[in-house]
């Protein structure tokens, strides 16, 4: 693997375009394209900027010398996204199941505990994962888990306002129109957050 391959691989692992990398380094998109197609080699100051941005050493970019053992041991942040999402999903399912069987407020507490644990796993994982995988991990965690994490709080508000009951999912009540309105609001909120996250990802 030569320097052009390493720059391209680091860029793709970061999930950014040639134009986005060019903006970070302070060059044109054509310059990045030439680096990746072996038509030219970046100046040392640009290599230093890229090494800081990608979280690798300049020796790795220039010579392919592997990073320190400590850096190599850092996990892919995507693993923590999966674990956290599973915990959040379990929290939602368990909460709904307990409420369905027992109709007790503790159902919400159980679900929120799982979700808090899921968020903790993700937060700790991000702090201890590979720098080059963090951007995509944050994007996928936010865009997926907004659908899980917002469901119980929105259901809680809906049920308390309309029924005075504490339940982890929306109950069918009178007026019947309230039930579909809940789903419209829920979907709108989640899609809105997903849109904000997607725009933020493109700006980074």
pTM of the predicted protein model: 0.66
| pLDDT above 60: residue 10 | yes
Contact present, 4 and 38 (Cβ < 8 Å): yes
Domain locations in the chain? 3-67, 77-203
Q: What is the pLDDT of residues 51-81, one digit of tens each?
A: 999 989 999 999 888 755 444 567 899 999 9
Q: What is the pLDDT of residues 115-145, one digit of tens each?
A: 999 999 999 999 988 888 898 999 999 999 9
Place domain 3-67 in its CATH homologous superfamily.
Answer: lambda repressor-like DNA-binding domains (1.10.260.40)
R_g (Cα) of the chain, nearest Å: 23
Q: How many CA atoms lie within 13 A of 168 on its CB side?
A: 28
- Rounded distance between C-alpha atoms, residue 84 and residue 116, angstroms: 9
- Please give the pLDDT value at position 152: 97
């Amino acid at each position: 693997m030569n320097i052009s391959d390493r720059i391209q691989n680091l860029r793709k692992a970061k999930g950014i375009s040639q134009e986005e990398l060019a903006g970070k380094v302070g060059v044109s998109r054509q310059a990045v394209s030439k680096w990746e197609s072996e038509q030219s080699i970046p100046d040392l100051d640009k290599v230093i900027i890229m090494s800081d941005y990608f979280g690798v050493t300049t020796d790795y970019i220039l010579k392919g010398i592997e990073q320190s053992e400590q850096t190599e041991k850092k996990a892919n942040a995507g693993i923590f996204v999966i674990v956290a999402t599973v915990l959040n999903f379990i929290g939602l399912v368990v909460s709904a199941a307990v409420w369905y069987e027992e109709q007790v407020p503790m159902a919400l507490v159980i679900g929120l505990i799982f979700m808090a644990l899921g968020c903790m796993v993700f937060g700790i994982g991000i702090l201890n994962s590979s720098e080059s995988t963090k951007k995509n991990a944050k994007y996928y965690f936010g865009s997926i888990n907004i659908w899980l994490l917002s469901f119980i709080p929105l259901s809680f508000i809906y049920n308390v306002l309309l029924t005075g009951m504490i339940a982890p999912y929306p109950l069918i009540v009178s007026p019947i129109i309230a039930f579909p309105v809940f789903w419209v609001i829920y979907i709108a909120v989640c899609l809105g957050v997903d849109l904000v996250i997607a725009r933020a990802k493109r700006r980074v």
